[in-house]
Structures are given as structure tokens and as C-alpha cells.
């Protein structure tokens, strides 16, 4: 029996025979049935008892719908299967030319490894290593950012294509194997001590000269909360950040994010600034290349966090940039020296992985499920199609993978402590006995998906998946209504066992 610290679980003695319990009809999902009848939404739902190999409830479980970010369940599982939870991406600084007396007569090259969770802390470590370990003090040439591992990734979704020219979100960052901070600019805002004054604001890290931050944030009376707006405009390849809104004097310093137009260039700008802070001057400019460079000499390297940690961050915050870079990494690993993959290639590979999970979980003699449709690792592509049956097959296979299940389970959110407020409703059973992933979307129809594991009252394990989509006749619905129905029905089933 597996013990997971996040779960509150109790073991009770049940009266009656197991045979009688097994003979009882599967309980219904009353709140979801009512939601369907009232709103006319399309629903695919399946709830199973994993340790007893039986179905507890279902609604059209084989119907494939748009899963949104439930797709990340497959990206995380495929990455764990490929590399294991202890894998670390290694990012390198290299050079071309020669180093004499602390001066590099040539180019300093940042070689992107496709680390989806690379942060500016790692850039600082590289800058420190270049100064201390290599004794570098000056670069006569350029600072080159090599994103050849994944090439120049085309924007495959409308969100990311629009983000090339401007954005007011962080989720839609273009993709790169040499990106940092999830492809996003970061701005900190610190309220003034009293209302009526302008809040302090700046870039994080603070050593980024030449980047414009336009506008300001007002400090308001206590109790107002934070209503900070951050957006980016891009002209001739240059990002300008704009900030506005208001923040309460009672709040601590907050951080806000918006996608960069070119994540690889952002890496170069940040690294150049951090090198300068460590006493390393770069005479040339920042350049981004998408083809491998020859004759590179190693300088310093940094290991990223474990894959288990990166997957946990990706899942808890539903980070689309991390998911799609990781999906591209997976197909690139298999392709070897072939041309860099497209997002569609990564999606197709995840579709094959999903089909393999389906086959492995199918009961002998049962009809095949067909092939799930996946076009990206994040779920931003509305062409993705999964059923509750597909998702539960994946959850079942991961449950039966002892080496991978602890890391996979840890990447899901227990609602009571979830970073997303939408999950923090429901009763005690929902809040403490489930671990879930959500997915949501507004276009072309409203989408809400919730899937994960639950502990039963007798200490057993269950898995569930619920996908709710708007229809042509009723394209949109309020997410909170579907969420309330899911919370009610899953908590009811978990408490009944």
C-alpha cells in the first residue's frame, strides 16, 4: 500500500460481505446529470476504484471532447517514462576563439538545452562560473544564444502568434530551447507606505538596462487588494513593458509576468546584464542563432532542477510554455540529429503514447478505444480530443508504475492547498482526499476538465476524469457551475467507500 503525505486517509472496518458490495449497481453522478440536463453541455466522465478494478460511475466515457490542460497529464507521464524523475537538463556556456588573460577574443555562446524550467537563478550561476571558474573579464565578440536544439519554433496557436507583436498574458510565450523564466518578463511592484503615492516598480532581476517600463501603479487604502495590469508592446523586435492599476498599501511586494516576444533574446539580455554584474563586459551585441555552431569549447555548465520538480511546477501552475517545450524535447530526443521538430510532431508523438497507454490498460477482449488526438503538450490547441476513458486509462497505468507514481501524484494539486482558487471549494472530502489536474478554455467553446486520484473512506484508491464542453447549441457555460457539480459527485463517491 502506498502512503502519500498529502492525503488524509483513514481505515475503517466495513460490515457486510464483499460479494454483496460488488453486486450493487454503480452509483450515478447526479450533479453532473443535472448539469447536462440544465445547460445542454457535452460530458464525458468515468470514476473507477483502482484497487478493486471496477467502475463506480460513468457518463459517456468513450466520447472524446476538448481536454484543454488535461493534456499535460500525458506530457508529464511521457517525460517520466522517457527520463525518470531524477533527470536534469544541463545548460552550458561555451565559446569560440581563444581566452588570454581573462579576455575572450571571440564569441561567448549560451547553448540552450531545452530546459523548460530554466530560471534567471541558473543564468546567475553561469555568469558567476564564467567570472570565477574561467576567470573571464571581457568578451571582445558577441553574446550568442544558441536555440538550435529545437530550432526557431513556429507559432502553432493563435495565442502565440499574436504574442509575437504584443501581449497582456504570460501563458502565450513563444517557444524556445533557450528560453528562461518560462519565456516571460517579470516586474515587481511594492506599494508605498501610504495611499495616494506611487508604488515602486522594476524588473526582476533588476539589472536589465535598456528595457523600458512605462506607466505606474497607484497605492490605495488598505483593503483594496491588487489590481495591477502588465502588458507588452513590441516594435522592430524591441519589447516595451507597460504597467498600470492600483495596489493596497497593506500588501507585500508582488511579482507580475507577461510573455516576451522572443524568449531566446530575453535570455541573452538577462545573461548579459548578469555577466556585467559579475564584472564580465561583453563588447558585442546579443545574437540568437537557430543552427548548431561548430568549434565550440566548453566553459561552464549548470544543472537544472530534477524532472520531478519541473513537472510539479508545470502541473501545479498549468504552465503552457513548460509543457510544450517538454513535449518538443521528447520528440527531439527520439529524432536525434534530424531537423528540429514542430509542435504538431510533438503532439503526434504524445498521441501515440496515449494510444499505448490505452492498449496497456484495456481489458483483454474489450473493443479498442481508437487513437486519442493530441496536437500539443499544453492543451492550448483546441484540436486535442480525449475521452474520460482515455484519461482514466493513463491514470491507471501510472498508478501501477511504482517507480513513477510518487512523482506523478506529487505533481497533482490537493485542493485545500492548490494555487488555483477554483479548486478550493467543496467539502472536506474533496479538499483533503483528492489530488487533481484541471483544464479550462473559452474558445471555440467553454471547456472544463478535472481528473486525478482520490482516497476512499476505507483507504482505497480511485481515479476519475470529467470533461465538460459547450456545444454548438450552447457554446458557453460558467466554469464554477461545472466545478461545483464535479466536486459534489467525486466527494460523494469517495465518502461512500
Q: What does the pLDDT look like over 17-59, one tens digit per residue?
A: 343 334 445 447 999 999 999 999 999 999 999 999 899 999 9
Asked if 176 and 263 count as a contact pair (C-beta separation under 8 A), the reply is yes
pTM of the complete model: 0.90
* Residue 313 predicted with pLDDT over 70: yes
C-alpha 71/C-alpha 406 separation (Å) is: 19
C-alpha 402/C-alpha 395 separation (Å) is: 13
Asked if 130 and 136 count as a contact pair (C-beta separation under 8 A), the reply is yes
- The four Cα atoms 241, 242, 243, 244 give a dihedral, to 10 degrees, of -170
Q: What does the pLDDT look like over 197-244, one tens digit per residue?
A: 999 999 987 667 778 899 999 999 877 778 999 999 999 989 999 999
Asked if 331 and 108 count as a contact pair (C-beta separation under 8 A), the reply is no
Task: Give residue 439's pLDDT.
Answer: 96
- Cβ-based neighbours of 290, under 8 Å, separated by 6 or more: 147, 148, 151, 152, 340
Task: Give residue 192's pLDDT.
Answer: 94
Locate the domains of the chain by residue range: 18-85+311-496, 110-304
Cis peptide before 444 (omega within 30 of 0): yes
Average pLDDT estimate for 138-158: 95
Task: Give residue 15's pLDDT.
Answer: 33
Lowest mean pLDDT among 91-100, 215-224, 338-347, 366-375: 366-375
Task: Give residue 36's pLDDT.
Answer: 93
* Residue 6 predicted with pLDDT over 60: no
- The four Cα atoms 322, 327, 328, 332 give a dihedral, to 10 degrees, of 130
- Strand order through the sheet with 200-203: 200-203, 184-190, 254-259
* pLDDT confidence bin for 428, thresholds 50/70/90: very high
* Residue 464 predicted with pLDDT over 90: yes
Lowest mean pLDDT among 265-274, 315-324, 334-343: 334-343
Where do runs of H (alpha helix) occur along 16-142? 18-23, 30-39, 72-83, 120-132
Q: Which CATH architecture has domain 18-85+311-496?
A: 3-Layer(aba) Sandwich (3.40)
Average pLDDT estimate for 300-329: 96
Task: Give residue 367's pLDDT.
Answer: 54
C-alpha 41/C-alpha 446 separation (Å) is: 9
Measured N-to-C along each axis, helices 388-399 and 72-83 cross at an angle, to the nearest 10 degrees, of: 30
* Residue 5 predicted with pLDDT over 50: no
* Residue 189 predicted with pLDDT over 60: yes
* Residue 166 predicted with pLDDT over 90: yes
* pLDDT confidence bin for 358, thresholds 50/70/90: confident
Task: Give residue 337's pLDDT.
Answer: 59
DSSP state of 69: G
Amino acid at each position: 500500500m502506498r502512503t502519500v503525505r498529502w492525503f488524509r486517509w483513514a481505515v475503517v472496518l466495513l460490515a457486510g460481505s464483499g460479494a454483496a458490495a460488488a453486486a450493487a449497481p454503480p452509483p450515478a453522478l447526479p450533479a453532473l446529470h443535472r448539469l447536462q440536463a440544465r445547460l445542454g453541455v457535452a460530458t464525458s466522465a468515468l470514476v473507477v476504484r483502482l484497487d478493486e478494478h471496477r467502475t463506480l460511475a460513468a457518463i459517456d466515457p468513450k466520447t472524446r471532447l476538448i481536454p484543454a490542460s488535461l493534456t499535460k497529464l500525458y506530457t508529464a507521464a511521457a517525460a517520466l517514462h522517457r527520463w525518470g524523475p531524477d533527470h536534469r537538463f544541463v545548460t552550458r556556456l561555451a565559446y569560440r576563439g581563444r581566452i588570454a588573460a581573462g579576455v575572450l577574443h571571440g564569441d561567448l555562446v549560451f547553448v540552450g538545452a531545452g530546459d523548460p524550467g530554466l530560471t534567471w537563478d541558473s543564468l546567475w550561476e553561469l555568469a558567476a562560473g564564467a567570472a570565477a571558474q574561467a576567470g573571464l573579464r571581457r568578451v571582445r565578440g558577441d553574446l550568442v544564444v544558441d536555440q538550435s536544439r529545437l530550432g526557431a519554433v513556429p507559432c502553432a496557436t493563435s495565442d502565440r502568434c499574436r504574442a509575437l507583436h504584443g501581449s497582456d498574458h504570460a501563458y502565450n510565450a513563444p517557444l524556445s530551447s533557450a528560453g528562461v523564466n518560462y519565456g516571460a518578463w517579470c516586474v515587481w511592484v511594492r506599494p508605498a507606505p501610504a495611499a495616494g503615492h506611487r508604488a515602486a516598480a522594476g524588473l526582476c532581476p533588476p539589472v536589465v538596462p535598456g528595457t523600458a517600463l512605462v506607466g505606474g501603479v497607484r497605492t490605495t487604502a488598505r483593503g483594496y487588494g491588487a489590481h495591477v495590469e502588465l502588458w507588452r508592446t513590441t516594435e522592430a523586435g524591441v519589447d516595451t513593458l507597460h504597467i498600470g492599476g492600483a495596489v493596497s498599501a497593506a500588501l507585500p511586494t508582488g511579482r507580475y509576468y507577461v510573455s516576451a516576444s522572443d524568449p531566446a533574446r530575453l535570455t541573452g539580455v538577462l545573461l548579459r546584464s548578469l555577466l556585467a554584474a559579475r564584472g564580465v563586459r561583453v563588447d558585442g551585441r546579443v545574437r540568437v542563432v537557430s543552427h548548431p555552431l561548430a568549434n565550440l569549447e566548453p566553459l561552464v555548465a549548470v544543472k537544472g532542477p530534477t524532472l520531478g520538480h519541473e513537472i510539479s511546477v508545470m502541473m501545479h501552475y498549468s504552465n503552457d510554455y513548460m509543457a510544450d517545450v517538454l513535449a518538443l524535447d521528447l520528440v527531439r530526443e527520439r529524432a536525434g540529429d534530424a531537423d528540429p521538430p514542430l509542435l504538431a510532431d510533438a503532439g503526434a508523438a504524445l498521441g501515440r503514447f496515449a494510444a499505448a497507454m490505452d492498449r496497456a490498460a484495456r481489458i483483454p477482449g474489450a473493443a479498442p478505444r481508437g487513437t486519442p488526438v493530441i496536437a500539443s503538450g499544453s492543451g492550448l490547441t483546441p484540436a486535442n480530443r480525449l475521452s474520460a476513458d482515455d484519461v482514466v486509462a493513463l491514470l491507471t497505468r501510472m498508478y501501477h508504475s511504482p517507480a513513477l507514481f510518487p512523482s506523478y501524484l506529487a505533481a497533482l494539486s490537493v485542493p485545500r492547498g492548490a494555487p488555483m482558487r477554483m479548486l478550493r471549494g467543496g467539502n472536506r472530502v474533496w479538499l483533503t482526499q483528492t489530488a487533481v489536474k484541471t483544464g479550462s478554455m473559452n474558445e471555440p467553446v467553454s471547456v472544463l476538465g478535472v481528473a486525478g486520484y482520490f482516497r476512499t473512506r476505507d483507504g482505497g484508491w480511485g481515479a476519475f476524469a470529467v470533461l465538460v464542453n459547450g456545444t454548438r447549441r450552447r457554446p458557453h457555460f460558467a466554469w464554477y457551475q461545472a466545478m461545483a457539480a464535479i466536486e459534489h459527485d467525486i466527494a460523494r463517491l469517495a465518502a461512500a467507500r
